[in-house]
Structure 1
């Protein structure tokens, strides 16, 4: 991290656990936002800075302007450069063209949707339609209601339908991208080694770890169970961070429907089932509660609602449900490595790097052997059984 960033104002941010922390990145200032907005002639004069986002991997704020409220988001260039944001913005623009209600980046006077300034990269959005009902919700916290889960499932299916035909190549190696290049292969060992070799920070961290043995113990048995289903995983550009907090809602009631889809920061070419498994992993399991309790961590009513909403738009076969169950213990593994790349290589946090490797990369897979993990997987197989008996 650059020395200059240590002398700027911090805000309270979501950490990697349940407790808030001081943000890694300095808060955006009114003067900084005004400087950025000079490149966006349609926005008008900034009036007042109204809110700082608590999300941990970048800095973002809402600024009231003459044209209405806008969101300014700032990334360190080692996390997102202009080219990387372009990958995200083009996918969102494609979805918007296909009729999906998404939030798309505004363009500068020169037509660019991202702006480089020193070691920062900026993107700017109009405040999208809908209630930010989960604005303060941590990742890995459940939906408030089954109606929310159903609507989120249906909208995810709509996104997958809209993404069909978008043929951009998979994204380049960079931190904090949720790819699916390792466990999607018949033999994941070589792809895993290639993934590490492309990311020197991960290679450096793993030098001190017996990682080959740990992968063989914790991950490869799950991959053996996934292998028979690999033909179900058809490449598709996907969102990869389908949590309730990345959706805007029609109102604040338990019956609210998804109105707008936000935040394509983790998007990449994965598969529809991988994206659906990520949605289950993000919204159905209370990972952050595990230190306090070991039961009632899985919300099967919300899982059913999410899958019912998805299937109402895109029916799921029994075999696809079994493929989902086989993938779930591995679905977070590759993004956990991307987080390790970020924490060891960019923010240089030994605590968070260890969390990414031990708790996420290895620990999430191991949790699926627990009673709660097995209950979740068994429920998916029961749904598959019920479909086959119809």
Structure 2
């Protein structure tokens, strides 16, 4: 008997998935729309990621040609057709400008997002390389400093390729890492507008209270960021560059990133916001805080990986002095909107108060408070020292 399908839980454990796994029967119905790919013969892997059902699938077309593709199924309340097309237009632009990202296959009618009932599907090319961090959950560190360096380079190349993508910000939808609340002078007013567009949050007293508390905790970081906001050019960004969202050249300690995957959280933000998310995803062991919330000083941070991540980035795209100075406060602020967006997903889609409270209290308030802990201050001070160091920007290190 095969093992039960599991997904990443909120505390890092493996739990039953919220969404039923893909089946060959549904994939046959889907791939009728993709005759060049053919019919599915086997589901090779099942993704443990929690927000959709996905996996690698072996296929065979009418001419006997065999291939592997990666297929995702989303509930339409999370990603309808237009929601996926926002991401697909960004990916098409990146590919046209030389970025190493997966191609999205189009159906016989030219659609890259296919709606069947309450589900929306997308069919991805599997990039070259290996899925080295396939089982890793976000908020866990790189295995080696060389991996961190390569990830920084990959993110910088992505930003260069994205620089002239002029689409507007995404429409309001759950599970997007936007940057609006702290993007101006009045975060309280921006938060009010954010809630007004999201009734499941606006009507929830505890969410509003936690958001107000987080804004108060984070206010000094917003004050630190404000003078640098004019220098942060709008840019479509990935917003989830964890090691598991890269494919890698080989399993070794010096492996290079070969492609960036999973653009589900992408939106029009700015480069510093995206770098801050990469720091937040890879440098802080947040799962320790999830499991030991009363001991914020016990959360490990990986300052060696922080330095080489930024060295790798700046070897390709040096930060301006203003961007470098903005990075410390942005790192403290960047998770705010995604925590709220996760709360919206848990409340409005899954109808789970138990999971939502982890997002709006444990992550929104808990992460904000952590940046005043000893390791939180150490992390931000390291970023400030780097910004102040003469001739540090653009340094290239092996």
Fold-level similarity (TM above 0.5): yes
Q: 1-side partners of 2:364 and 2:207: how far apart?
A: 16
Shift of 1:212: 6.3
Q: Is the 2:241–2:281 contact (alpha carbons within 8 Å) kept by the matching residues of 1?
A: yes
Give 4+ residue runs of structure 1 displaced > 4 Å after superposition.
Answer: none
Correspondence for 1:344: 347
Whether the aligned pair in 2 keeps the contact of 1:72 and 1:124 (CA below 8 Å) is yes
String of CA shifts for 1:141-181, please: whole Å, max 9, x gaps: 11111111111101101111110111001001000011101
Q: Residues 212, 12 of structure 1: CA spacing in aligned structure 2 closer, same or farther, 3 A cutoff?
A: closer
Aligned to 2:226: 227
Write the distance in 1 (CA, Å) between the matches of 2:299 and 2:211: 33
1:62 aligns with 2:56: yes
**In structure 1, what is the Cα distance between the partners aligned to 2:196 and 2:317?**
38
Residue correspondences, number: 382
Deviations 1:24-81 (A, max 9, x none): 0011111111111111011122111111100000000111112311111000000000
For residues 156 and 205 of structure 2, the distance between their equivalents in structure 1, rounded to whole angstroms, comes to 37
- Aligned alpha-carbon RMSD (Å): 1.7
Secondary structure of the structure 1 residue equivalent to 2:120: strand
Q: Is the contact between residue 201 and residue 207 of structure 2 (CA under 8 Å) also seen in structure 1? A: no
1:323 aligns with 2:326: yes
Whether 1:184 and 2:164 are equivalent positions in the alignment is no
Q: Give the aligned partner of residue 275 of structure 2.
A: 276
The answer on whether the counterparts of 1:177 and 1:266 sit within 8 Å (CA) in structure 2 is: yes
CA distance in 1, matches of 2:259, 2:376: 31
Give yes or no for contact 1:72–1:122 (8 Å, CA) kept in 2.
Answer: yes
TM-score, structure 2 normalization: 0.92
Listed as ranges, the matches of 1:1-390 within 5 Å are 11-66=5-60, 67-206=66-205, 209-211=208-210, 213-290=212-289, 291-292=291-292, 294-295=297-298, 297-387=300-390
Matched residues in 1 for 2:111 and 2:327: separation? 38
The verdict on how the C-alpha distance between 1:259 and 1:389 changes in structure 2, with shifts beyond 3 A counting, is closer
> Does the residue aligned with 2:123 lie in a helix, a strand or coil?
strand
For residues 208 and 41 of structure 1, the distance between their equivalents in structure 2, rounded to whole angstroms, comes to 47
CA distance in 1, matches of 2:375, 2:126: 39
Q: For residues 360 and 283 of structure 2, what CA distance do their matches in structure 1 show?
A: 22
Separation of aligned partners in 2, 1:177 and 1:281: 16
Aligned to 1:5: none
Which structure 2 residue ranges, 5 or more long, are not aligned? 61-65, 394-398
- 1:171 and 1:216 mapped to 2: Cα distance? 23
**Deviation per residue, 1:197-241 (Å, 9 max, x gap):** 101111122367534641443232321222122123211011111
Deviations 1:317-348 (A, max 9, x none): 44322210011111000111110100011001
TM norm structure 1: 0.94
Closer/same/farther in 2, CA of residues 139 and 216 from structure 1, 3 Å limit: closer
Cα distance, 1:259 vs. partner?
A: 0.5
Distance 2:118 2:79 in 1: 10
What secondary structure sits across from 1:63 in the alignment?
strand
- Separation in 1, partners of 2:72, 2:318: 37
Q: Is the 8 A contact 1:317 1:384 kept in 2?
A: no
Unaligned runs of 5+ in 1: 1-8
